[in-house]
Amino acid sequence: MPRSQANAFTLTPDVRRTSTVVVLGSIMSILDTTIVAVALATLGRDFHVSVTTIQWVATGYLLALAVVIPITGWAVDRFGAKLVWMTSLSLFIVGSCLCGVAWSANSLIAFRVLQGIGGGMLLPVGQSILARAAGPQRMGRVMSIIGVPMVLGPILGPVIGGLIVSNFSWRWIFYINLPIGIVTLLLSQRWLPKWDTDERFPTAFDTLGFCLLSPGLAALVFSLAEVGTTGSFTSTSVIVSFVIGIVLMTGFILHALRIKNPLLELHLFKDRNFSVANICIFVLGATLFGSMFLLPLYYQIARGQEAWVAGLLMAPQGIGAASIMRWAGNITDRFGPRRIVPFGVLLMAVATIPFAFVTTSTSEVLLAVTLFVRGLGLGLTMMPVTAAAYFDLSHAEIPKASTTMNIVRQVGGSVATALFAVVLERQIVANLGPAAAKAGGSAGVISSTVKLPPQVADSVAAAFAHTFWWAIGTILLAFIPTLFLTNRAPVLAAAGAEGGGGAGDEAADGDAETGPRVAGAMLD
């Protein structure tokens, strides 16, 4: 490979510094979606409220994310990515501080919403910043960097939260964000790209679109969260919120197709590569978050482990994904995502099969090895697919594309979590029969903090094994759209751009797709 072309694939110091800032901010936001879960029982006791009430500490944060994510693309176009990033980070820090000093359950819920408003923008804005800073020929590498917090966040959350609750006040779950957030804020001011002020594409705010999309998405996410709480798709709260969500989101789609500069640019789906990548993101998001729902519950309920121990037992998956993501990004940049993503999906499916046969005594070493292999498959799929979505986009299209992909991933994860929750609930009832009723139903079994008797635990483990077959099916479903991903690397920037190596040629693989429209301005 010519030296100039090799340099085009190298991550420059500016891109590395930008990546560091984005990862620090993103991992705080992702951690806070799971770190609170292990403290809910403690919070309920301290504030003397029911589980139903204190659950809104977690649900309120998720709903805030759902409301604010749709406006991220517009905000970046209007105010610039750096300003939006630093504002969101500041809101997250203030929200964390207020959560730490909360004096009641209601105040904590309100402050969690504020924290979620800040945290919701961090990941999509961070992706936009990295995508613009790196350029198309390095997209796989930088997306693999931001993929690390996405994989490690749900694993580290229960570990950190459990250790804090066991040894310190629950308030430190929120205070721990302050030093990290302040350091990230200072580094953001110093290290984020200076070209941000020239990267604005201001448009009028789509007020009607916001009134349709954000509440619609929030209602849909709430309905799917309620499925996990009620264990049924037919409860009143689930049906009402689901119908409201679908109606509002359908109204947004009809509205967005008729106007110029909608809140979400649906015309991006005319690009075949972007459409296929988003289908993959939806199914892989379902695979990731659905399995992340099942795995810790299996360790905690069927095997009686504490939440932080369950997080440690899941660590091999994150280690496997993190160890291969950089290599996967490199391959994506050079040869295209179709060379590795289908293989990664099959590897994930094969590595999940042992969980379909778990019992209460299955070797934890075997499961750790299996999770490591599963993590390798995850590292070969999630971020290469995200990188592929950006291949053919112009500079101006990146912020709204990032917003769209984060919504697609969140909805996919919510759908799978709701589905797996219902399957698990019904299977526990079927396996336990009268024993489930005596324990207060399957919800009583799942929420129990007491180690289950051996006979009950065996039946619960069998219910998890059954549900993991659904997880395997979901993974295999993801295999189909990966076959339609592009099988080419992104074209290098025009000659003369810094780090460029001249106009690149497409890989000759028979794809009839046109080259990317991304210009040399996307380079450093």
Condensed to tens digits (0 to 9), the pLDDT of residues 333-383 reads 888 888 889 999 999 999 999 999 999 889 999 999 999 999 899 888 888
> What's the pLDDT score for residue 512?
37
Three-state DSSP class for residue 272? helix
CB atoms within 10 A of CB 242: 19
Q: Are the C-beta atoms of 300 and 307 separated by less than 8 Å? A: yes
Average pLDDT score over the chain: 79
Confidence of residue 315 (pLDDT cuts 50, 70, 90): confident
Work out the average pLDDT over 189-210.
74
- Residue ranges, comma separated, of all CATH 1.20.1250.20 domains in the chain are 13-203, 271-496
Class of domain 271-496: mainly alpha
pTM, rounded to two decimals:
0.78
Cα-atom radius of gyration of the chain, to the nearest Å? 23
Residues 6+ apart with CB under 8 A from 223: 237, 238, 239, 240, 241, 242, 245
pLDDT at residue 491 greater than cutoff 70: no
Confidence of residue 489 (pLDDT cuts 50, 70, 90): low
pLDDT at residue 329 greater than cutoff 90: no
From the list 468, 456, 523, 442, the residue with the least C-alpha distance to 490 is 523
Confidence of residue 507 (pLDDT cuts 50, 70, 90): very low
> What's the pLDDT score for residue 339?
86
Confidence of residue 26 (pLDDT cuts 50, 70, 90): confident
> What's the pLDDT score for residue 522?
34
Q: For 403-448, what is each residue's pLDDT tens digit?
A: 888 888 888 888 888 888 888 888 888 887 755 545 544 555 555 5
Give one DSSP letter per residue of 395-448, joined into a string. GGGHHHHHHHHHHHHHHHHHHHHHHHHHHHHHHHHHHHTHHHHHTTHHHHHHH-
> What's the pLDDT score for residue 93?
93
Determine the Cα–Cα distance for residues 152 and 163; give it in Å rounded to an integer.
Answer: 16
Confidence of residue 89 (pLDDT cuts 50, 70, 90): very high
- Which tokens go with 495? 């000659």
Determine the Cα–Cα distance for residues 478 and 485; give it in Å rounded to an integer.
Answer: 12
Determine the Cα–Cα distance for residues 276 and 313; give it in Å rounded to an integer.
Answer: 34
Work out the average pLDDT over 74-80.
86
Amino acid present at 411 = V
Per CATH, the homologous superfamily of domain 13-203 is MFS general substrate transporter like domains (1.20.1250.20)
Work out the average pLDDT over 145-155.
72
Three-state DSSP class for residue 1? coil
Work out the average pLDDT over 98-109.
90
With both helix axes pointing from N to C terminus, report the angle between 105-134 and 13-31 in degrees, rounded to the nearest 10: 160
Distance, CA of 13 to chain centre? 27
Share of the chain above pLDDT 70, in %: 83
Work out the average pLDDT over 229-257.
86
Q: Which residue has the higher pLDDT, 328 or 366?
A: 366
Instruction: Identify the weakest region by mean pLDDT among 304-318, 430-444, 495-509.
Output: 495-509
Amino acid present at 463 = A
> What's the pLDDT score for residue 517?
37
